[in-house]
Amino acid sequence: MKPIILFLLAFFSISSFSQILVTRDTLLMGSKFQISVVDDKETNAHSKINLAIAEIVRLEEMLSTYKSTSEVSLINQNAGIQPVKVSEELIFLTKIANHFSELTNGAFDISIASMDKIWRFDGTMDTLPTSQEIEFAKRNVNFKNIVIDSKNQTIFLKNKGMKITFDSIGKSFAADNALAILKNLGVQSAMVNAAGDITVMGNPPHQKTWNIGVQHPEKKNQIKKIVRLNSGAVTTSGDYQKYAYINGTRYSHIIDARTGYPTRLWKSITNVGENATICNALSTSCMLLTKKEQKQLLKKVKGFRIIR
């Protein structure tokens, strides 16, 4: 679950001369998505929103770890056995993930899913895993054991017991793709909010920009900063929405793959940039890094800025 970024236009349909803003909330990929489209007719806007939703549903079928027939599930089921033929999109997304693993020296790693049995953030965890349990689970956490064969379009996990998950960047990727669908349909102004990972283009009626409020990590319903955008994305990673509370200490769901333990460096990190996928990879990565390491990372990934 991602921290909530509050969209500051709280309405469903507002007229501005011939333009109407239509917003729809829906549950996709296990989270709340909000899609807003500016059009001259409400029926047209809803038709376009339907196509954006269909794109997100299609990507969920590819990325889900809960659906046994998804590409990601098939990769996990065949870990240590054989490569799995996948879509070009999943090859592309896995390469992005592994690139950030390289940039963070292994702190960010989609094979962290292999530790899902010892760190649970669903309210059922009341004791900490032992150091031995963590070390045992870590044996299957290593992005270098994710083998991407672009020519044959396959992905292979070298070790049995390995798993990958795109919980960190999958919803953002879906948001980017949904916005691209809307753009291809001729929409000039729209917003896709994927559980707090927001990507926009154009502007809503009566306003020059989309105004996005970044939630304060320690003060519920209080906005820390307003980000104004006509194009681009805002994503936030934080430890205050999904965590385990054990012996008086809150343990974040964001785990440093190098140590096997939840990060405790930051309450939240927000990134602003050209697309939600990279923004989210950055915000998650930055949660795992010191301020000095964050600066070094942002020098390598141009066109993005951080809000702490």
Domain-wise residue ranges, the chain: 71-157
| Stretch among 14-18, 24-28, 101-105, 173-177 having the lowest mean pLDDT | 14-18
Contact 253, 240 (CB under 8 A): no
89 pLDDT above the threshold of 70: yes
Q: What is the pLDDT of residue 8?
A: 47
pLDDT computed for residue 252 by the predictor: 83
Tell me the pLDDT tens digit for each residue of 192-219: 999 989 999 999 998 999 999 988 877 7
pLDDT over 50 (residue 4): no
- Quickly state the pLDDT bin for 2 (edges 50, 70, 90): very low
User: What pTM was computed for the model?
Assistant: 0.90
- Which of 157, 74, 154, 69 has its CA nearest to residue 111? 157
pLDDT of residue 17: 52
For 126-141, write each residue's pLDDT tens digit. Answer: 889 999 999 999 999 9
Residue 200's pLDDT is what?
A: 98
Give the pLDDT score at 241.
67
Q: Tell me: pLDDT of 169 over 70.
A: yes
Q: Is the pLDDT of residue 267 over 60?
A: yes
CATH 1.20.210.10 fits 71-157, yes or no: no
Q: What is the pLDDT of residue 16?
A: 43
Least confident of 82-96, 112-126, 165-179: 112-126
Percent of the chain with pLDDT over 70: 94
What pLDDT was estimated at residue 238? 82
pLDDT confidence tier of residue 21, bands split at 50, 70 and 90: very high
The residues pairing with 36 across neighbouring beta strands, listed in sequence order, are 23, 191
What percentage of the chain reaches a pLDDT higher than 90? 75
Per DSSP (E only), the strands in the chain are 5-7, 13-16, 19-28, 31-39, 84-85, 146-149, 154-157, 190-194, 197-201, 210-215, 223-229, 231-238, 243-246, 249-252, 255-256, 261-262, 268-273, 305-307
How confident is residue 121, by pLDDT bands cut at 50, 70 and 90?
Answer: confident
- DSSP codes joined into one string, 187-211: --SEEEEETTEEEEES--TT-SSEE
